[in-house]
Amino acid sequence: MAKREIELKALEKAAKYICTIKCGLCPMVVENIPCPGECNLESLPWQCWFAYFQAQSREESGQA
């Protein structure tokens, strides 16, 4: 597994863990922030956390 794949898998696991701790709520509800991605009926809360952390990382690295 490539380093990038390992990092993405770790990010996915972290998002799922945090989502579970936050009782399945999306970051918009918990952190009162707009979702960085498009949400629909098929979206799972951990996917929103994943997108939220990716957006934060891009902002911190100046790639927003």
Residue 64 has pLDDT above 70, yes or no: no
Structure tokens that stand for 2 in this block: 């490539």
> Does pLDDT of 37 surpass 70?
no
The pTM is what? 0.68
Domain total of the chain: 1
Instruction: Output the pLDDT for position 44.
Output: 80
Host domain of residue 54: 3-61
